[in-house]
Chains A and B, each alone.
Chain A
Amino acid sequence: MVPFGGWDMPVQYSGIINEVKAVRTASGIFDVSHMGRLYISGPQAGAFLDRMLTGSATGLRQGRARYCLICNESGGVIDDTIFYRLGDDEYLLIPNAGNRPSVVEWFNQWIESEFSGGVSIDDRTTETGLIALQGSGAAALLDGICTLSGGELPSSLRFFTWGEGDLGSHQVFVGRTGYTGEDGFELSMSNQDAAAVWNALAEAGALPCGLGARDVLRLEAALPLHGHEIDASTSPIEAGLDRFVRREGDYIGQPVLAQQRNDGTERKLVGLTLPGRSAPRAEYPILAAGQEVGRITSGSFSPTLDTSIAMGYVLAGHSESGTTLDVDIRGRTATATVVPLPFYSRS
């Protein structure tokens, strides 16, 4: 167990490589109860989220989910999030574990100044469990043990939509989303049902997976991790997340992001592959002709691709796919090639 964002988290159960392979070829389960569950409601809930988020909340249809960023006035990323539209004036927003207090504080600050009385935030993180079921076999597995309230099967949900259902005698919220680059679901339930739901999924054949596998899977899929690829001093434009940023709209950070999109940014996030299995890790220098041109943000051996992969920021002139760069791995120079992201995408 390791400390992570204020929670004690298992790094691995049966081994990271084994767990990664299970998700890519069958299915795995992750206890992600450390992620926040913020229920945001009130007559101005939609307008408020439109102001806070780079993605539109009022434009999101009920029953759907969306990935986007919460930015500060300089366009830096306070957090990235998936949020669900639960009703006309009700949303469920999932912040990262370590960022939940700062997101709540940030939201409250803006509610007070611009939306006073119109929005309320109900933080149900510690009252509920959140379990991610991920993998190419996830839908078939869940269909076998869970029925949605309308009688449909979970596989009838499209990606980035949600439903409610019963898993045995337990009520679950079922969002078809994830953080592995694989098909899958995130299931939320009351605390007292969490262990039983976990056990039912494991008995149905999903392999328990830890934080280590989750990090490798998200890196293979080039999904950003706050504190690595994105943070309060990094913009979503630099991070290549343009498609999750509205061009128009009066949301916080919009003027800076619009300008960056127009003018380009000094540095860009790139994907790198390196022959062999030794991987660059966060903060290792990236060099061109002996000069530092950037830093690694995440790196790992990729069990799926059987090579080392990394993401990092480089000066824009070195960001073209095919560019060869050097990475200083603890004093050893390794050759890396810029490649298009993601490293892995499911077929």
Chain B
Amino acid sequence: MSPEDRKYTREHEWAKVEDADAKLVSVGITHFAQDELGDIVYFDLPNVGENVSYMQKMGEVESVKAVSDLFSPVTGRIESVNNELVDHPELVNDDPFDSGWIMRVVLEDLGELDTLMSASEYDEYTGAS
């Protein structure tokens, strides 16, 4: 089951509020997504300071078998990216909801998250529940 402390997209990204006052959320891909991708070998990560918007391409993830686009689940400015993924992209396979986070974003509007799916909705969407 997916963690209930965050929201989910149909493109299999998650967004979790880290600091509500600062409107800071962390973003990553779900366990379902990493399982579909298989062994991840490379991330093309966005740059800190860039703006991303909802469902806009924010980077690429490459597994041994295929390349997929990453879409931002939120709109805002990139506060940081997980540089650990440069040398250890497999972190996302091992721990997609925690140490395998991809970037942190300062949102324009925290209310944007209300439009995303809850954990139970997402699990229903992927057939996990």
Is residue A138 within 8 Å, beta carbon to beta carbon, of the partner chain? Answer: no
Q: Contact mask B30-61 → A, CB, 8 Å, 1/0?
A: 00000000110110100000000000000010
The answer to whether A15 touches B42, judged by C-beta atoms less than 8 angstroms apart, is no
Q: Contact mask B54-89 → A, CB, 8 Å, 1/0?
A: 000000101111010000000000000000000001
The answer to whether A278 touches B39, judged by C-beta atoms less than 8 angstroms apart, is no
B38's partner among A15, A281, A330 (CB-CB below 8 A) is: A15
On chain B, the residues within 8 Å of A278 by CB distance are 41-42, 44, 62
Is residue A17 within 8 Å, beta carbon to beta carbon, of the partner chain? Answer: yes
On chain B, the residues within 8 Å of A342 by CB distance are none
Inter-chain contact count A-B, CB under 8 Å?
41
The answer to whether B64 touches A303, judged by C-beta atoms less than 8 angstroms apart, is yes
Complex CA distance for A276 and B64, rounded to whole angstroms: 13
Complex CA distance for A300 and B63, rounded to whole angstroms: 9
Dominant secondary structure at the B interface: strand
Chain A, residue nearest B66 (CB): A281
The answer to whether B62 touches A216, judged by C-beta atoms less than 8 angstroms apart, is no
The answer to whether B39 touches A15, judged by C-beta atoms less than 8 angstroms apart, is yes
The answer to whether A301 touches B41, judged by C-beta atoms less than 8 angstroms apart, is yes
The answer to whether A277 touches B89, judged by C-beta atoms less than 8 angstroms apart, is yes
The answer to whether A276 touches B42, judged by C-beta atoms less than 8 angstroms apart, is yes
Complex CA distance for A17 and B37, rounded to whole angstroms: 12
The answer to whether A281 touches B64, judged by C-beta atoms less than 8 angstroms apart, is no
The answer to whether B42 touches A212, judged by C-beta atoms less than 8 angstroms apart, is no
The answer to whether B67 touches A281, judged by C-beta atoms less than 8 angstroms apart, is yes
- Asked if A330 meets B65 with Cβ closer than 8 Å, knowing A15-B39, A276-B42, the reply is no
Within 8 A of B (CB), among A1-42: 11-12, 15-18
Residues of A within 8 A of B (CB): 11-12, 15-18, 212, 215-216, 276-279, 281, 300-301, 303, 330, 332
Top 9 nearest A-B pairs by Cβ distance?
A277-B41, A301-B41, A16-B64, A278-B42, A17-B39, A277-B42, A212-B65, A16-B39, A15-B39
